[in-house]
Amino acid sequence: MWIVLGLLVLLGLLYVIVAYNSLVTLRLRVKNAWAQVDVQLKRRYDLIPNLVATVKKYAEHEQETFRHVTEARAKAMQAATTDGQAGAETELTASLRTLFAVAENYPELKADANFRQLQQELSDTESKIAFARQFYNDTVQKYNTRRQIFPVNLIAGSFGFKEEKFFTLDLQAEEREAVVVDFTEKKK
């Protein structure tokens, strides 16, 4: 009887150790995934001043737009939490859209090789950010799921494993709508 009881206690202890270690592993993966998002955001922040400077050469009277992009970049760089980062990134994305809309009014700017290269690099970086954000959110989902499953949730609660937040952007309703493409020719 004591042997059976000892084996059950040992198995229970082994389960706690395995569950604890799996939670630690997943929590570290979440931190690593966030670091990857952070690397891509830093790359984006480094590109923005060059892009603004290039556009400034052609559109000197658009100072309000430049100021807004610069302020949005500064807020995004200073964000300390996932929620704060998401809000700042939403604002920065909107200000960059405005900057590119300004650029559309200057054909000589659109033809500038430096501007085109910066625009391409920013586009590539946006794709990398999207991938890193998706990887981060997938990792958070795995961690949060593992953390909430019984009986691991008892171990997670005992050892202080907290829920991680997803990194989501607050998109406006018009940004969520599908783009309508019409290939029919209009007759004159």
Output b/e per residue, 87-99; b: 16+ Cβ within 10 A. bbbbbbbbbbebb
CA distances (Å), 65 to each of 18, 41, 43, 52, 56, in order?
54, 21, 21, 9, 10
pLDDT at 61 over 80: no
- Pick the closest to residue 167 from 86, 74, 102, 96 (CA basis): 86
Domains present along the chain, CATH in parentheses: 24-176 (1.20.1440.20)
Tell me what the mean pLDDT of segment 176-183 comes to: 43
- Say what percent of the chain tops pLDDT 70: 90
* pTM confidence score: 0.74
Residue 160's pLDDT band (cuts 50, 70, 90):
very high
Which of 165, 118, 161, 168 has its CA nearest to residue 141? Answer: 165
Instruction: Report pLDDT for 39.
Output: 93
Query: Do the Cβ atoms of 30 and 136 come closer than 8 Å?
Result: yes
Q: Which two tokens stand for residue 82?
A: 């996932």
Backbone angles phi, psi at 161, to 5 degrees: -80, 115
By the 10 Å C-beta count (0-12 exposed, 13-18 middle, 19+ buried), 120 is classed as exposed
> Chain centroid to CA 129: how far?
6
The pLDDT tens digits of the residues spanning 88-126 come to: 998 998 888 888 888 888 888 777 888 888 888 988 999
- Confidence grade of residue 54 (pLDDT, cut at 50, 70, 90): confident
Cβ atoms of 29 and 37 within 8 Å: the answer is: no
